[in-house]
Structure 1
Amino acid sequence: MRALATWSGAIAGLLLILVGGLIQAAAPIPTASGGWNLTTLPITLQVPALLLTALVCGPRSGMLAAVAYLSLGLFQLPVFQGGGGAAYLLDPGFGYLAGFIPAAWLTGKLVRQQGMDDLLGLFGAAVVGLGVLQVCGIANLLLGALAGRWGPNLGILLFSYSLAPLIPQLLLCCAVALMALLLRRLLLVES
């Protein structure tokens, strides 16, 4: 029964990640007139979908969903932002994609081991997962710079891949934690 739950969570997670990669994130911002404007953020809902999968379905399902997503993209299906294929291994952003696997595993493991079933604990686990993504991506950029791949563009790449999306991703970690809490209670997920 547990294997069925793992695989069904992984398939649901893969679908969430695929759809999340197609949707531009947005946040409601209050206006001076007392209303609200929906402002687009410079990220998609792909990372929040990954974190939500790990928080709700656990480390195995999250990791399997991440492996399936990377496999689809590397085998020529255009699921990555710029398409797909093995050439993506040399893309500056590939380190962040490769970070999906350890981020999903660690996020899910934290929730399971620590018994986090409160909003703050789920938020903390999501932030740790986001941190893992950042570390993997930055490590890839630094290794590429040492190999001379990016030329003088390392600063620009670090800003566009790490710093610019960081605040919106942290904001979405709040939403992911809230959604995870509601889904965990609705689905009667045990910590």
Structure 2
Amino acid sequence: MEIYLMDVDERRRVYRIISVSAAVMALVVVAVIVLDVRSLIQTNQPRIEAAVHQAISDTFPSTRPRFDAAGNFIEYPEDTRMPQDVTMRGYVERGQMIDGVVGMNRLEGWALEGAAGDQFLLDFEPLEGGYTWQMTVYQPDREMLAFTADSEAGYADFSLLPVQLPAEGTYFVVISAFGETGEYTLHVR
């Protein structure tokens, strides 16, 4: 039996062949992975776009205030546009106290005139127990400015809603209820 010993040059050549083979195999594996990922992205593009949109929304939240004047966290409903089916009851001014009735299919609205920087405190008082209410203030362009609701709606119980108007115009205070019909008093300070 004869033992063959490689000299240094032969060993280097074998190592180069092994290294090149390993590099080629690595490139083949990377190419297969890239092709698989590209086909996965193409077939799942709507889901990927939705995930990216959600990540951007979570990273860059809206410019609406996240805390009220007292430092309490504000939880907004998802739809920020003023509903079309609001029954406008008239205008309300600072110092005025008004009474109203809301129900499951009835939204009451009050118009409030103001200038940029005007501050109001809306004091909502349900007169009958048993109904879940919410009060929303909409800007002149019908986008939500402020929101509060009672604790039965899953929010903290804030019957006082401080509002600072960002611009001059007519704002809308909309009162709504879930479930039963109920009477209320709204005091604008």
TM-score (norm 1): 0.23
- Highest RCO, 1 vs 2 (Cα 8 Å, sep ≥ 6): 2
TM-score (norm 2): 0.24
Q: Based on CA coordinates, which of the two structures has the bigger radius of gyration?
A: 2
The structure where helix makes up a greater share of residues is 1
